[in-house]
């Protein structure tokens, strides 16, 4: 099973950008830990980060036919990008939406996700540990018997 981890704008600044809000773990730390969990779960992981909306959409299109599921932290694009949601739906890749902070306890414009209605689940507000929970939950969902 192949799982993609797709990170959006400013997530390359994890550990540096507002550490009091986002923590001190870097994106490399997150990817390293996810690699350990992926090995434990017997899945292959492909991680990428893009600051531009078009780059994110291109990365989603590249998943078609070769990725079984995805973990998506689209950053601020989660709250505004119908195009990204349409791309995820269009490639038929089940995904879990992740946010490091609790977006529902932040500014009103962050409390709505364009991606959430298309996601199989979401993890918010648990820091970078949310990525691990998302990976474990996604793999369990993909491995669950179909009824």
Q: What is the pLDDT of residue 104?
A: 85
Q: What is the pLDDT of residue 147?
A: 74
Residue 42: how many CB atoms within 10 A of its CB? Answer: 9
Helical H runs in the chain?
A: 19-22, 27-41, 53-61, 82-90, 129-143
Tokens 């996601």 found at: 119
Q: Specify whether 68 is catalytic.
A: no
Selected catalytic residue, list 79, 99, 112, 131: 99
Q: What is the pLDDT of residue 44?
A: 98
- Indicate the DSSP class of residue 80: T
Q: Specify whether 104 is catalytic.
A: no
Tokens standing for residue 67: 């990725």
Q: Which of 3, 83, 106 is nearest to 45 (CA)?
A: 3
Q: What is the pLDDT of residue 105?
A: 84
8 A C-beta contact, residue 129 and residue 33: no
Q: Which residues of the chain have pLDDT under 70?
A: none
For 87-123, how does the pLDDT look when each residue is reduced to its tens digit (9 = 90+)?
999 999 999 999 999 988 887 778 879 999 999 999 9
């Amino acid at each position: 099973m192949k799982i993609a981890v797709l990170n959006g704008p400013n997530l390359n600044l994890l550990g540096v950008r507002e550490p009091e809000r986002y923590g001190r773990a870097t994106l490399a730390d997150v990817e390293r830990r996810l690699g350990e969990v992926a090995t434990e779960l017997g899945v292959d992981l492909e991680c990428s980060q893009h600051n531009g909306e078009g780059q994110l959409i291109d990365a989603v299109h590249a998943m078609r036919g070769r990725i079984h599921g995805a973990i998506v932290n689209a950053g601020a694009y989660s709250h505004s990008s119908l195009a990204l949601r349409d791309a995820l739906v269009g490639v038929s890749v089940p995904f879990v939406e992740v946010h490091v902070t609790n977006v529902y306890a932040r500014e009103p414009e962050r409390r709505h996700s364009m991606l959430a209605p298309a996601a199989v689940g979401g993890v918010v507000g648990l820091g970078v540990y949310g990525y691990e929970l998302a990976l474990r939950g996604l793999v369990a969902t993909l491995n669950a018997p179909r009824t």
